[in-house]
Amino acid sequence: RWKSLAPHDLASTTDIEKSIVYHTTYTLCRHRYNVDKTAMYSATSHSVRDLLLKEWNTTQERLHVTNPKRCYYLSMEFLLGRALDNALYCLSTKKEYAESVKALGFSMEDLLEEERDAALGNGGLGRLAACYVDSSATLEYPVWGYGLRFKYGIFKQIINNEGYQDETPDYWLSHGNPWELRRDDIKYDVQFYGYVATKMNDAGESRLSWEGGEKMYAVAYDMPIPGYDTKNCGNIRLWESQPHNLFDFGAFNNGDYDKAVNDQKRANNLTAVLYPNDNHDSGKELRLKQEYFWVSASLQDIIRRFKRSKRPWKEFSDQVALQLNDTHPIMAIAELQRLLVDVEGLAWDSAWDIVTKTFAFTNHTVLPEALERWSVPLMEHLLPRHMQIIYDINLFFLQKVEKQFPGDRDLLNQVSIIEESQPQQVRMAYLAVVGSHKVNGVAALHSELVKKDLFPAFIKCFGPEKFINITNGITPRRWLYQANPALRDIITETLGSEKWVTHLDELAQLKKFADDKAFQKKWMDVKYRNKQRLAKWISTNMGIDVSPDSLFDIQVKRIHEYKRQFLNILGVIHRYRELCEMNDSERSKVTPRVVIFGGKAAPGYFVAKLVIKLINSVAKVVNNDESIGDLLKVVFIPDYKVSLAEIITPASDISQHISTAGTEASGTSNMKFVLNGGLILGTVDGANIEIRDEIGEENIFMFGTLADKVPDIRHNQKFYGVLLDANLQAVIDLIESGAFGDASIFNPLIDTLTYGGDYYLISEDFDGYLKKQTEVDDTFRDKTLWAKKSIMCTAGMGFFSSDRAVREYADKIWNLKPIPSE
């Protein structure tokens, strides 16, 4: 009977219309004549979701039957952005839905704009996780993401009248979320605090057991992740915290209502909000609680699934691969060891063998302030049994090292998971290295620095093979196919098929057309239209008019000193100074420029917030200087997010990736811009280096100190001080003259260039930066040359597909095979 009642297909547009009307009536409970854009977006999304859930179910059924090895990607952040457009493309039904929506009196474009971004992440790391689940689903790998269902994602950024960043909460679920499914039946206990007791087990052996403390429920929400051109559907499972003792009736009956709801409040708080720090550890107890809550629930879920297979524990790592996305989920190592030893009764060594064969760790930064450390007293208080286990892991590891290198006390200190500070700290990255079978960096240079600067002593203990590189990638579906329809269409027309969408190396065939005048024209027309689209957005939303004939120069990413937005705006001031000194004939030779910034600063990051203020102060002066006109415009786009990136990225002529060499692990927006035919102005850092190698050095503008020279320069600055570059000094003088408003407010920012050295080497790199900018201007005036470079950029980007990256993870770390859907 069930078989004959298979769910509907929505094959025709009439079916689609019916399904949308069905959802307005029965899901939204709306009268058909009372449907606004928001409701229509929601009904359409529910209709598309039906199609996805069908694929979700068949995928799970297939996995249940074949029971292959699976990989779980543990990531605190998933920066997904919007889902509807992506789902429509993946299901290859956008045309049909657009027609149906039109027949019902709406435009698809409008509906797409109704969707709120799922912004459960800060920046690169969270967006990388989103690209990886897209590729896993597309390549039919059995991969699930595990994370937290934050009620509030990254805050909404507002630029106030004075040009400062203000933060407001982003309650992204206010209109409901059609893209998630709450699973009330999938629910686990998570414990905190309490104490460790010795107990007898059934066999009469004494076992340590974690008792008492506080308990919460973790409830599962699933977000289906469609694959492109496949019936395979991936999944992200996100946990929400819920109170365990629904009500303290004792307290309630005694009239102590406050106490009665206390439990509930605490539980509801736990997954309420994502910490808005990017690359900077705050060390807060609530954060550690979030981390443990998430890994505990995820491991319980994974172990339950493993147990269903009835296989012996020693086969766990043949069934399960766990990828740790940075230091955030590292408590999972101690937690799995605890579950295996305390709960399942395995011997320590057998359990540890399983743990180390199961986990692998991705490092995303060498900045010391971004590597989590937790104080031992905090951990003893919150997770007493885990603290013991970490001590034991450390002890057994150090004993091994001592055996291998007898008497090397220095080495023992260098690799100890416990840092002997006051108070002691647990170095989470070290725990990850000891508890994983592979450690990877995210770009070639970064992976070298991971070995050389972060874990040199561990190379001695484990050998170099444990440390590998997997260069990041981005999904061509969202970042070209979806975000840049005009470019997509001419690529498909020129290559004769859409094969490139899942085989990005195919783009190399575009090289043949790089000198073709007719193709160049088409190519640059697309770029122009994308610039018009962005100019229109800026005009509508910000009231600033910019000309698409100008060179669009874009830097959008989190605001951080190491990313050097400060260098960019100082360069803008230099340009303004020069323009002010020119006569009309000199000005007529200038390449007009629009310099666009975007990005959020962590709310507590004072210097980063001051950079935003400086950019806006400069923008105000420059944009209102009538004598400058279109020769220079400065725009700070507020609330940069995934959906804005989709409009911004295709519109660049140049984008800036100008971190101090050795500080940006990889960068991924660099890849997005180049994929869309934008050129890079960048330092010899992160993935810029590999992008250069792939597209050719003649197609990228590079400058600046090399990574291996940075430490010496910093050292010398400490001794001899910093003598500012002459042009930089003139720029600083202009700021200090009050040209951009009250100069005193910028003092703390200017001080970062001189007091205690210019840590990010802005002065050192300033001259090289300005010279490259001049080269950019000159090159841009040669339209043919520029068109050729732009085509060569896109053509060389095949390597940077997240499909390639995920395949590398599957082959080199997870030992995972695709499970074909047909």
Q: Which of 364, 385, 522, 527 is catalytic?
A: 364
Rounded least distance, CB 445 to ligand 26Y, Å = 11
* Phi/psi of residue 106, nearest 5 degrees: -125, 165
Task: Give how far Cα 550 sits from Cα of 769, 781, 793, Å.
Answer: 20, 10, 20
Least distance (Å) from ligand 26Y to the CB of residue 809? 13
| Nearer residue to ligand 26Y within complex by CB, 652 or 663 | 663
Q: How far is the CB of 363 from ligand 26Y (least distance, A)?
A: 9
Instruction: Report cis status (omega within 30 of 0) of the bond before 423.
Output: yes
Strand partners, 192: 214
Annotate 664-720 with DSSP letters as a single string. -S--SHHHHHHHTT-EEEEES-TTHHHHHHHH-GGGSEEES--GGGHHHHHHHHHHH
Cα 248 to Cα 211, 253, 261: the distances in Å are 20, 9, 8
Identify the bridge partners of residue 129 per DSSP, sorted by sequence position: none
Considering the complex, state which of residue 23 and residue 560 has its C-beta at the smaller distance from ligand 26Y.
Answer: 560
- What are the tokens at 298? 């995820």
Cα 489 → chain centroid: 28
Distances in whole angstroms, Cα of residue 560 to Cα of each of 120, 565, 576, 606: 19, 7, 24, 10
C-beta closer to ligand 26Y: residue 100 or 363: 363
Amino acid at 346: L
Of 3, 8, 1, nearest in space to 23 by CA? 8
> Which one of 30, 593, 672, 692 is the catalytic residue?
672
Nearer to ligand 26Y, 277 or 323 (CB): 277
Of 338 and 672, the one with the shorter C-beta distance to ligand 26Y is 672
Between 352 and 374, name the residue whose CB sits nearer to ligand 26Y. Answer: 374
Question: Minimum CB separation from ligand 26Y for residue 143, in Å?
Answer: 17
- Burial class, 604, CB count within 10 angstroms (exposed 0-12 / middle 13-18 / buried 19+): exposed
Task: State the minimum distance, in angstroms, from the CB of residue 607 to ligand 26Y.
Answer: 17
Q: Closest residue to ligand 26Y, Cβ-based? A: 124
Query: Which is nearer to ligand 26Y, 520 or 555 (by Cβ)?
Result: 555
DSSP 184: E
Interacting residues with ligand 26Y (CB under 6 A)? 122-125, 128, 277-281, 326, 364-365, 370, 372, 442, 472, 664-668, 686
User: Whose Cβ is closer to ligand 26Y: residue 274's or residue 631's?
Assistant: 274
Compute the distance between CA of residue 695 and CA of residue 798 in angstroms, rounded to an integer: 10
Residue 359 identity:
F
If the CB atoms of residues 9 and 369 are measured against ligand 26Y, the closer one turns out to be: 369
Q: Give the active site residue among 558, 575, 641, 772.
A: 558
Shortest Cβ 562–ligand 26Y spacing (Å): 9
Contact 180, 238 (CB under 8 A): yes
C-alpha atoms less than 13 angstroms from C-alpha of 375 in its C-beta half-sphere = 10
DSSP 474: B
Q: How far is the CB of 166 from ligand 26Y (least distance, A)?
A: 21
Which segments of 215-310 does DSSP mark as H helices, in order?
249-253, 257-270, 285-308
Question: N- to C-terminal Cα distance for the chain?
Answer: 24
Beta bridge partners of 698: none
Contact (CB, 8 A) for 388 and 196? yes
As measured in angstroms, the least distance from the Cβ of 443 to ligand 26Y is 7
User: Least distance to ligand 26Y from the beta carbon of 329, Å?
Assistant: 11
Task: Please report how close the Cβ of residue 668 comes to ligand 26Y at its closest, in angstroms.
Answer: 5
Residue of 127, 466, 563, 772 marked active site: 563
370 or 819: CB nearest ligand 26Y: 370
Question: What pairs with residue 199 in β-bridges?
Answer: 207
Active site residue 364: yes
For residues 248 and 803, which CB has a smaller minimum distance to ligand 26Y in the complex?
Answer: 803
Cβ 446 to ligand 26Y shortest distance, Å: 8
Distances (CA, A) of 233 to 7, 62, 131, 136: 16, 11, 14, 9
Strand order in the sheet with 467-469: 181-192, 214-226, 233-243, 143-148, 70-74, 320-325, 359-362, 438-441, 467-469
Q: Which amino acid is at 738?
A: G
* Element housing 221 (H / E): strand 214-226
Tokens standing for 272? Answer: 């309420």
Specify the residue for token string 């008497």: 407
Annotated active-site residue in 23, 427, 557, 789:
557
Check if 557 is active-site: yes
Classified as helix, coil or strand, 396 is helix
Instruction: Name the residues annotated as catalytic.
Output: 364, 557-558, 563, 668, 672
